[in-house]
Amino acid sequence: MTAIIDGKAISQKIKDELKEEVARKKAQGRSATLAVIQVGNDPASTVYVGNKKKACAYIGIESESFELPEETTQDELLEVIDRLNDDPGITGILVQLPVPAHIDEDTIIRRISPLKDVDGFHPMSVGALCIGEKGFVSCTPAGIMKLLEYSGIDVSGKECVVIGRSNIVGKPMSLLLLRANGTVTICHSKTKNLKEVASRADILVVAIGRPRMINEEYVKDGAVVIDVGIHRMEDGKLCGDVDFDRVKDKCSAITPVPGGVGPMTIAMLMYNVVSAM
């Protein structure tokens, strides 16, 4: 029987554990405030920002919103970040991405203090992960490690294949699997014989941004399949990068879309915010 990994339930469990930890830390006189910056009013970003603020309220930490108009210049945004970096009352800073095209995303990411970089995107956070030092870890891959842990899936010694090498998912994912002693292969758009490489995996993580591309031909019998992709189809339904119906009977465990990796991202953002408390 294939196990369907329930990201909704696991993320709820993590948020409940964090709620208790926040109460304990507050009792010791510690506090946390997450600054959430949104530039412009992209509807999807507004939903994400709203969900992040709701999650803060749920676990008992403060959030402060900075809703800046679309025409905000890069310098103006950098000034806001500088102010928040210097504000001892702010423990985490998040700039909702994407930012409008006239603002350079990398410049913004680099300006956030690594001590407050709860998204884990700053090069120093990524570097710390690379050399196994303490630091904030990108939320989606960190969430996947929690999904594996809470599902009792041991990574050590396993063949792990990650399809996708983006800075926010594929690369940190590969480093985390390596840190957990997996034998890791990273695939991308230039990989030859992708089916053959993917079907070596005991644990296959798919983050390619192509709806239902990965079918049973890419999957070994009994593999664990983690689907990071999320796509809204024409019929309004969500699907992942994995063709769930074709793959599910072949693997031992799989994350659904929605309800798999997605809910973990905000839970791990909260985890990062609380760890900075």
**Residue ranges that bind ligand NDP, judged by CB under 6 A:** 140, 163-166, 168-170, 187-191, 194, 207-210, 228-230, 241, 261-262, 265
DSSP states of 218-277 = G--TT-EEEE---EE-TTS-EE-SB-HHHHTTTSSEE--SSSSSHHHHHHHHHHHHHHT-
- Least separation in angstroms between CB 36 and ligand NDP: 16
**For residues 44 and 57, which CB has a smaller minimum distance to ligand NDP in the complex?**
44
Cα atoms in the Cβ-side hemisphere of radius 13 Å centred on 76: 12
- Least separation in angstroms between CB 207 and ligand NDP: 4
- Least separation in angstroms between CB 24 and ligand NDP: 28
Residue 268 backbone class (left: φ over 0; alpha: ψ -120 to 50; beta: rest): alpha
Write down the catalytic residue from 38, 52, 171, 243: 52
**For residues 90 and 242, which CB has a smaller minimum distance to ligand NDP in the complex?**
242
119 labelled catalytic? yes
> β-strands 231-232, 238-239: how paired?
antiparallel
- Least separation in angstroms between CB 134 and ligand NDP: 23
Q: Is 25 helix (H, G, I), strand (E, B) or coil?
A: helix
Q: Which two tokens stand for residue 42?
A: 């992209």
**For residues 135 and 164, which CB has a smaller minimum distance to ligand NDP in the complex?**
164
52 labelled catalytic? yes
- Least separation in angstroms between CB 246 and ligand NDP: 17
Write down the catalytic residue from 6, 96, 116, 227: 96
Write down the catalytic residue from 117, 119, 202, 243: 119
**Could you give the CA distance from residue 59 to residue 99 in angstroms, rounded to a whole number?**
27
Q: Is 84 helix (H, G, I), strand (E, B) or coil?
A: helix
Q: Output the residue with the shortest Cβ distance to ligand NDP.
A: 166
- Asked if 198 and 214 touch (Cβ cutoff 8 Å), the reply is yes
Which one-letter DSSP state was computed for residue 201? Answer: -
**For residues 95 and 194, which CB has a smaller minimum distance to ligand NDP in the complex?**
194
**For residues 80 and 137, which CB has a smaller minimum distance to ligand NDP in the complex?**
137
List, by residue number, the catalytic residues. 52, 96, 119
